[in-house]
Chain A
Amino acid sequence: MDALMLTIIATSIPLLLAATGELITEKSGVLNLGVEGMMLSGAVGALGAVLWLENPYFGIIAGGLCGVLMASIFSIFTINFMTNQVATGLGLTIFATGLTGLAGAPLVGKTVPSLPKIEIFLLSDIPFIGEILFKQDFIAYLSVAIIILITYFLKYSKSGIVLRAVGDDHQSAHSVGYPVKKIRWYAACFGGMCAGIGGAYIPLVLTPHWSEGMTAGRGWIALALVVFASWIPWRIIVGALIFGGITIAQLVGQARGWPIPSQILSMMPYLATIVALTMISGRISKSNSVVPASLGKPFFDTQ
Chain B
Amino acid sequence: MITFVPRDKVSKNWTIIGPILSIFLTVFFGLLIFTFLGYNPLETLYQVFLSPFSRIDRISDIFVKACPLVIVGIGLMLCFRANVWNIGAEGQFIMGTLLAGSFALLFPSVETKFFIFIMMVIGFIGGALWAFIPAILKTKLNVNEILVSLMLVYVAMLFIDFIVRGPLRDPMSFGFPLSKPYPDGAIINKIPFPGIGYLGQLHYGILLILLLIPISWLFVNKTLSGFKINVLGSAPKAAKFAGFKQNTITITVLLISGGLAGVAGVIEVSANIGQLQPEVSFGYGFTAIIVAFLGRLNPIGILFAGIIIATVKLGADNAQMSMGIPKVVTGLFEGILLFFLLTGETLQKYKIKWLKDT
Chain A complexes with chain B = yes
Instruction: Give min CB distance, B329 to chain A, whole Å.
Output: 5
A94 touches B331 (CB 8 A): yes
Partner of A277, one of B34, B143, B286, B343: B143
CB-CB nearest in chain B for A273? B151
* Cβ-based interface call for A73 (8 A): yes
Partner of A82, one of B4, B142, B151, B330: B4
CB-CB nearest in chain B for A284? B142
B147 touches A96 (CB 8 A): no
* Cβ-based interface call for A252 (8 A): no
Instruction: Give min CB distance, A186 to chain B, whole Å.
Output: 19
Question: Using a Cβ cutoff of 8 Å, how many contacts connect chains A and B?
Answer: 150
Q: How far is the CA of A286 from the CA of B336 in the complex (A)?
A: 34
B141 touches A281 (CB 8 A): yes
* Cβ-based interface call for A141 (8 A): no
Q: How far is the CA of A200 from the CA of B99 in the complex (A)?
A: 39
Interface segment, one of B158-166, B195-203, B248-256: B158-166
* Cβ-based interface call for A223 (8 A): yes
Q: Which chain B residues numbered 113 to 166 have a C-beta less than 8 Å away from chain A?
A: 133, 137, 141-144, 146-148, 150-152, 154-155, 158-159, 161-162, 165-166
Query: What is the size, in residues, of chain A's interface with B at 8 Å between Cβ atoms?
Result: 49
A227 touches B331 (CB 8 A): no
One digit per residue, 1 when the CB lies within 8 angstroms of any chain B CB and 0 when it does not, for chain A 195-207 equals 0000000000000
On whether A82 and B331 interact (CB within 8 A), knowing A87-B338, A88-B342, A227-B147, the answer reads: no
Instruction: Give min CB distance, B97 to chain A, whole Å.
Output: 17
Q: How far is the CA of A9 from the CA of B290 in the complex (A)?
A: 37
A274 touches B328 (CB 8 A): no
CB-CB nearest in chain A for B85? A86
Interface segment, one of A61-69, A164-172, A232-240, A259-267: A259-267
* Cβ-based interface call for B227 (8 A): no
A264 touches B158 (CB 8 A): yes
Q: How far is the CA of A102 from the CA of B332 in the complex (A)?
A: 9
Instruction: Give min CB distance, A61 to chain B, whole Å.
Output: 21
Q: Give the chain A neighbours of B338 by CB distance below 8 A.
A: 87-88, 90-91, 94-95
Q: Give the chain B neighbours of A92 by CB distance below 8 A.
A: 335
Q: How far is the CA of A213 from the CA of B328 in the complex (A)?
A: 10
Q: How far is the CA of A33 from the CA of B149 in the complex (A)?
A: 14
* Cβ-based interface call for B339 (8 A): yes
A105 touches B326 (CB 8 A): yes
Q: How far is the CA of A82 from the CA of B6 in the complex (A)?
A: 12
* Cβ-based interface call for B345 (8 A): yes
CB-CB nearest in chain A for B353? A303
A98 touches B330 (CB 8 A): yes
* Cβ-based interface call for B325 (8 A): yes
On whether A278 and B343 interact (CB within 8 A), knowing A90-B289, A94-B290, A95-B335, the answer reads: no
Q: How far is the CA of A92 from the CA of B286 in the complex (A)?
A: 13
On whether A220 and B147 interact (CB within 8 A), knowing A98-B329, A102-B332, A300-B4, the answer reads: yes
B150 touches A95 (CB 8 A): no
A270 touches B154 (CB 8 A): yes
Partner of B343, one of A77, A86, A98: A77
On whether A271 and B345 interact (CB within 8 A), knowing A87-B338, A102-B326, A281-B142, the answer reads: no
A95 touches B342 (CB 8 A): no
A33 touches B37 (CB 8 A): no
* Cβ-based interface call for A127 (8 A): no
* Cβ-based interface call for A137 (8 A): no
B37 touches A102 (CB 8 A): yes
> Which of A73, A90, A223, A300 has most B Cβ within 10 Å?
A90
Q: How far is the CA of A136 from the CA of B256 in the complex (A)?
A: 50
On whether A77 and B334 interact (CB within 8 A), knowing A86-B146, A99-B33, A102-B325, the answer reads: no
Q: Give the chain A neighbours of B188 by CB distance below 8 A.
A: none
Q: Give the chain A neighbours of B34 by CB distance below 8 A.
A: 102
> Which of A77, A227, A270, A271 has most B Cβ within 10 Å?
A270
B166 touches A94 (CB 8 A): no
B330 touches A277 (CB 8 A): no
Q: Which chain B residues numbered 328 to 358 have a C-beta less than 8 Å away from chain A?
A: 328-336, 338-339, 342-343, 345-346, 350, 355
Q: Give the chain A neighbours of B154 by CB distance below 8 A.
A: 217, 267, 270
B137 touches A98 (CB 8 A): no
* Cβ-based interface call for A131 (8 A): no
On whether A274 and B343 interact (CB within 8 A), knowing A97-B328, A98-B330, the answer reads: no
* Cβ-based interface call for A84 (8 A): yes
Q: Give the chain A neighbours of B148 by CB distance below 8 A.
A: 274, 277
CB-CB nearest in chain B for A97? B331
* Cβ-based interface call for A119 (8 A): no
A94 touches B141 (CB 8 A): no
CB-CB nearest in chain A for B2? A80
On whether A98 and B331 interact (CB within 8 A), knowing A264-B158, A284-B142, the answer reads: yes
A95 touches B331 (CB 8 A): yes
Q: Give the chain A neighbours of B152 by CB distance below 8 A.
A: 270, 274
Q: Which chain A residues numbered 157 to 206 have a C-beta less than 8 Å away from chain B?
A: none
On whether A91 and B335 interact (CB within 8 A), knowing A102-B326, A267-B155, the answer reads: yes
Q: How far is the CA of A300 from the CA of B343 in the complex (A)?
A: 14
Q: Give the chain B neighbours of A96 by CB distance below 8 A.
A: 331, 335
CB-CB nearest in chain B for A224? B147
Q: Give the chain B neighbours of A212 by CB distance below 8 A.
A: 326, 328
Q: A77-B339, A224-B151, A266-B158 are known; give 19 further A-B pairs, CB within 8 A.
A: A83-B346, A84-B345, A86-B146, A88-B339, A91-B290, A91-B338, A91-B339, A92-B335, A95-B338, A98-B328, A101-B328, A224-B147, A227-B147, A263-B159, A263-B165, A267-B159, A274-B147, A277-B147, A300-B6
Q: List 10 A-B contacts (CB under 8 A).
A: A82-B350, A83-B343, A83-B345, A86-B85, A95-B331, A102-B329, A217-B154, A227-B147, A274-B143, A303-B355
